[in-house]
């Protein structure tokens, strides 16, 4: 390695990422081919809609009102999705996939399995931010919303189980039902994001989920 490369450190030195063979992310609602076919303005609209959806800002708007809010044409919106429901689902799916990719990107091969698991679950819990109650309103009544969320949750659970299996193999934790534990850990964020549950806890859903993950992982670690 050259001196310049050594001095540049992490910025120029490729880092070895963790891999998860056999774990498949959910199929995107907007295929890569479809996204590549969108105009620059449509891609901007998708980015703008992500922030609005997370805050529950589309729940009571029609497509025409959404177009007016974003200062775009109805043709621009219908070029992305054929209905408001499909548009909301596409935006939610895109947001969850972005968070998922960012979470995986934080995981380096040099991390211990438990260290990687903590980082991964903290990153994926961003999905319940910033306003879960408002976010839930966006999805209320949309037929395929639960199926979409279930698919992303199953992926988080699969990655979580893989990391737990590695932790057992590395003797970081004792023998445990990794499938059951992955189901618990992978579902914490969504569970505490439910409006009826969020109202009963003192802290925001992400903070609550992150705190419980920390308690569970500390209890699992072998001394």
In tens, the pLDDT along 39-60 reads: 999 999 999 998 888 777 787 8
In angstroms, the CA 102 to CA 123 distance is 8
Q: Please state the φ and ψ torsions of residue 123, each to the nearest 5 degrees.
A: -70, -40
3-state secondary structure of 17: strand
User: Tell me, what's the pLDDT at 135?
Assistant: 65
Distances (CA, A) of 64 to 54, 58, 74, 87, 110: 20, 11, 6, 13, 50
Query: What pLDDT is stored for residue 3 in this prediction?
Result: 37
What's the pLDDT score for residue 192? 79
- Per-residue confidence (pLDDT) for residue 13, from 0 to 100: 46
The per-residue pLDDT for 9 is 42
**SS3 (DSSP) at 10:** helix
**C-alpha 165 chain-centroid distance:** 22
Q: What does DSSP assign to residue 127?
A: G
Global pTM reads: 0.85
Backbone angles phi, psi at 23, to 5 degrees: -95, 115
d(CA 146, CA 118): 26
Which tokens belong to 61? 């708007």
Separation in Å, CA 205 to CA 20, 125, 133, 182 = 27, 8, 10, 18
Domain extents in the chain: 85-220
Q: Where are the alpha helices (DSSP H) in 32-172?
A: 32-36, 40-54, 63-70, 74-78, 84-105, 113-124, 132-139, 145-169
- The domain defined by 85-220 folds into Tetracycline Repressor; domain 2 (1.10.357)
Give the residues of the chain that fall short of pLDDT 50: 1-13
Separation of first and last alpha carbons in the chain:
38
């Amino acid at each position: 390695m050259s001196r310049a490369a050594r001095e540049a450190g992490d910025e120029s030195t490729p880092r070895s990422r963790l891999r998860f063979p056999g774990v498949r992310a959910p199929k995107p609602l907007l295929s890569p081919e479809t996204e590549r076919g969108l105009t620059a303005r449509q891609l901007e609209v998708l980015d703008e809609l992500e922030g609005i959806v997370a805050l529950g800002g589309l729940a009571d708007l029609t497509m025409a009102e959404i177009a007016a809010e974003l200062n775009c044409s109805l043709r621009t919106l219908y070029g992305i999705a054929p209905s408001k429901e499909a548009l909301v689902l596409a935006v939610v799916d895109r947001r969850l996939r972005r968070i998922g990719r960012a979470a995986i990107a934080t995981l380096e091969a040099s991390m211990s399995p438990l260290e990687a698991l903590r980082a991964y679950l903290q990153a994926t819990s961003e999905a319940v931010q910033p306003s879960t109650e408002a976010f839930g309103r966006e999805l209320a009544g949309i037929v395929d919303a639960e199926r979409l969320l279930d698919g992303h949750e199953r992926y988080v659970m699969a990655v979580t189980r893989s990391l737990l299996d590695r932790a057992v193999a590395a003797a970081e934790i004792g023998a445990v039902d990794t499938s059951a534990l992955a189901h618990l850990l992978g579902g914490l964020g969504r569970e505490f994001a439910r409006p009826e549950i969020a109202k009963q806890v003192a802290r925001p859903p992400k903070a609550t989920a992150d705190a419980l993950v920390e308690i569970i992982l500390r209890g699992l670690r072998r001394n």
